[in-house]
Amino acid sequence: MNKDNLSDEQAVRKVQKGRSEYFRFIVERYSSRIFSIGMRFFFNSEDSADFTQEVFLKAFDKIESYREIAPFRFWLVKLAYNLGINMKKSLPAEHSPAEFVDAVYTGESPDETHMNNELREVLLSEINKLPERYRICLDFYFFFGLKYSEISEITGFPVNTIKSDVFRAKNILRDRLRGTLAEECYEM
């Protein structure tokens, strides 16, 4: 079966029946998303790559516990989030955030790309300064496109708290970016 025609749930069922080679479809589909989650926790490529590997190892070990109550991507993101929280707690205090920029080819001119990278850096820098709870809710809502109810299931925060945290995070960012070029480019 072609991997493009195979749903996550179909691949998982095959893995659960002993066809472990189908797990590679899961890894191929979600490695960049899991790596992005790792970047939001660890702020560097090396730790994020280790995190990504750990998530997939844990997912493979726990695949039998997936029961199709929610979409598989949701189950995987929740597993990644919980692992990220646990791994972050075990890091030494001097492990501080480094700035990163997602490199994506957009077809822009070099000047536009440079300006957009600088704007993205400013925005990510300000996002990284938010309280962790606000940052996590903002990331899941805007960057990963999760619904408030999904974020609640992953984090354990009540839905209204998540809505409030996203609202407060947007206001903090709006205030911090006021008067900068980033304010004009990123409508919040």
Per-residue confidence (pLDDT) for residue 93, from 0 to 100: 54
Domain definitions of the chain by residue range = 1-93, 108-182
Q: What CATH number was assigned to the domain covering residues 1-93?
A: 1.10.1740.10
pTM of the predicted structure, to 2 decimals = 0.67
Which range has the worst mean pLDDT, 11-15, 69-73, 163-167? 69-73
Mean pLDDT of the chain: 82
Nearest residue to 51 (alpha-carbon basis) of 23, 26, 86, 22 = 86
Is the predicted pLDDT of residue 180 greater than 80, yes or no?
no
Looking at 1.10.3720.10, 1.10.10.10, 3.30.559.10, 3.40.50.10950, the CATH number of the domain 108-182 comes to 1.10.10.10
What is the DSSP track for 66-95? Answer: --SSS-HHHHHHHHHHHHHHHHHHTS-TT-
Angstrom distance (rounded) from CA 35 to CA 25: 16
Express each pLDDT in 113-151 by its tens digit. Answer: 666 667 777 777 888 889 988 988 888 888 778 889 988
What phi and psi values does residue 155 have, to the nearest 5 degrees?
A: -90, -25
Per-residue confidence (pLDDT) for residue 164, from 0 to 100: 96
Backbone dihedral region for residue 179 (phi beyond 0: left; psi -120 to 50: alpha; all else: beta): left
Per-residue confidence (pLDDT) for residue 112, from 0 to 100: 66
